[in-house]
Structure 1
């Protein structure tokens, strides 16, 4: 039997188990995940619609924000619906091709969103530390080039994951102890050596996301230095509040991702598997849920534009037919 279990082959399907060790709580766990996903979906769609519709928001900060919104929609939609299918209906089967595609999309969107966060940090640095050159430095053509470069970089560094997984020979064990397909989670099912996968994955993280984090830290360090030099206490408080909320989102984005990555490679059995998988699941839904709030609701211009759109779609003085109540409370 041992010989049969270790026969190398290409599996037709894999089986995702959800959160190992917490299977009996899947239904309860699904409720907050479903709520967060719906909130993320609606919030990002409203934010994207508002930015696209309103001409006055076609400025560098908001164009980068729209790119972040698209990345959030892709990240959550690529993973959460299948995750909920596992939690609700125990439908964990996923074809080999679909699993590889999910690996590519999850890592591609992460790398792209990381690059967008760097661009947004640079945008804030120029706006606060060098405002006189803001319009000349960040033209529309420059913004499109930055976003295109983010997409091309992400594609180039993530595409090898597909070939590295396809070259492996897999054992009879096709159970992935995760809620979605992730590079190392799939690679660990192989019977052959995965040393190349480990080395390349570590290199990608250190030379892409790791460098991105350094650039973001330097940018916000320079921004905070400029903020503390402002003469007005009110201006300092406002700038600190904005920077603080942005930094919280950045920490929420990178911390679970790095935790999941390094746990897969170096955690061993020191960290319970269900803790690792649960944090990896939160990483794909919590930042997409909070980004519209931090970058949208807290932004006065976006908030006012959303209210104008609501007033246009549903005027406050218009009564609902057959009712004495206003269309919008």
Structure 2
């Protein structure tokens, strides 16, 4: 809902409240009027509705008058301002209310004699001062509520900006981490097998291009994330040869889901650098993704070495992954790294399934 629509909606609600108060007061006055032998049932409605109508019309002006006074320092200045406002309210309220009554009575062909101007002001002054004070109190409460709502919105905006800045910083930390390791791998094979080094460089070019694309937004789809993971795994396979086999399985629904950019790079890198490098036998690394019960379930498994405590809690990639998930999703995201009894480890991620 836009601010204009909210303003119109609030205006209609205010008018409905004013009308409801006027009708309730009119019905209460009607009982006394009939008990006194009144002949025109519409008179109590005219008396009460004319008073409430003028109060309703003057209410927004009093609100602006009060808020403008709050912007100027000094309680004495504010009190003087409201004394002037109370006098103006009384004159406007009495003048408008009795002007309406005289006009209606004239149209009905009836004589209306409420008394002299001095008598009317003396009778209405006390009630109008109480009404003005009550209206000012309500206006002050509404102003405080509006100010609190603005502060809450500003706080939410600041939190969102802080989270975005944190995500940008964490992403910048992750990118050099795996890129430098990849360059080290290339340097280790370039003098042994030129053809293999050339293939690794081609995959690295794809990887860099995708990484630059990922910088444009803190989040992208799983399909875009896999376009980063696949060339990285190709580089690792070229490095380790038959010692490493990979498998990627992701449903179509999962591929359309949004997730933080470069989220899977750190887990995949840990599975390879800490497991393949430390295992003398063949290692299988698999990445899977499915959508179940409104959640995106991701897993990175390896059949090599089980995770060690220092690797689980101290690795830069894993620490950044936890921090990014906390910034974006809070407690709605879950991350778990477990050891497989048969060997290897499994990193499980659970995120809210948000389609692009």
More strand by share: 2
TMscore range, shorter length:
under 0.3
Q: TM-score, normalised by structure 1?
A: 0.26
- Structure number with the bigger relative contact order (C-alpha 8 A, sep ≥ 6) is 1
More helix by share: 1
Q: TM-score, normalised by structure 2?
A: 0.25
**Which one has the largest radius of gyration?**
2
